[in-house]
């Protein structure tokens, strides 16, 4: 249902499912000021949300596009307005954020999507820099801002950085099985 109340959406952008089967959806649209993540059971029952209505630039607001879940059920959101990645607990407490605006390693220009591999490495689709950046995950700490891999729009390694795992096809990414709610 369209709206900004619990369980309603204006413009759902990203979706991820944690190990317990809970569904997380990033929802935003500037005209209605939905800047939030909503959490549901796998049956679609609303559980909680975080983020607030507003301009999307205060610490409690974000413009979340892509969303991913790590093995500890922490939630990663690619924040396209702030050019960073934010890491939350499964209930919405901000744990860490990384990135800034720019073209250097560790900087973004409108990150649109995010994924984690089985080793916990964080892949960020850096839309207007035309590349994928991969960050090493360290236990109980935010991802390193040291790039372990960067791939430009032509598939070439950026600045001679060694590739951690080349992204040439979806066969290199481990995706969970699809299930309808």
Domain boundaries, the chain: 12-172
Query: pLDDT-based confidence at 157, cuts 50/70/90?
Result: very low
What pLDDT is stored for residue 119 in this prediction?
A: 77
pLDDT in tens, 13-65: 889 999 999 999 988 765 556 788 999 999 999 999 988 765 556 666 777 78
Q: What is the pTM of this model?
A: 0.75
Class of domain 12-172 (CATH, top level): mainly beta
**Is 149 in contact with 123 (CB distance < 8 Å)?**
no
More confident residue, 181 or 47: 47
> Above 80 in pLDDT, residue 180?
no
pLDDT in tens, 70-116: 989 999 999 888 888 888 899 988 888 888 899 888 889 989 899 98
CA distances 104 to 79, 83, 117, 118, Å, are 17, 12, 23, 26
């Amino acid at each position: 249902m369209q709206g900004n109340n619990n369980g309603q959406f204006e413009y759902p952008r990203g979706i991820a499912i944690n190990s317990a089967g809970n569904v997380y959806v990033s929802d935003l649209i500037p005209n209605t000021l939905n800047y939030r993540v909503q959490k549901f059971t796998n049956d679609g029952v609303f559980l909680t949300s975080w983020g607030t209505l507003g301009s999307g630039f205060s610490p409690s607001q974000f413009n979340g596009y892509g969303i991913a879940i790590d093995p500890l059920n922490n939630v990663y959101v690619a924040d396209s307005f702030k050019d960073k990645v934010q890491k939350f607990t499964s209930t919405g407490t901000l744990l860490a954020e990384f990135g800034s605006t720019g073209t250097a390693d560790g900087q973004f220009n409108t990150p649109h999507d995010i994924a984690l591999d089985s080793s916990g490495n964080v892949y960020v689709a850096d839309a207007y820099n035309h590349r994928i950046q991969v960050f090493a995950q360290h236990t109980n700490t935010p991802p390193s801002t040291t790039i372990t891999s960067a791939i430009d729009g032509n598939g070439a390694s950026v600045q001679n950085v060694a590739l951690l795992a080349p992204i040439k096809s979806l066969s290199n990414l481990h995706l969970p099985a699809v299930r309808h709610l």
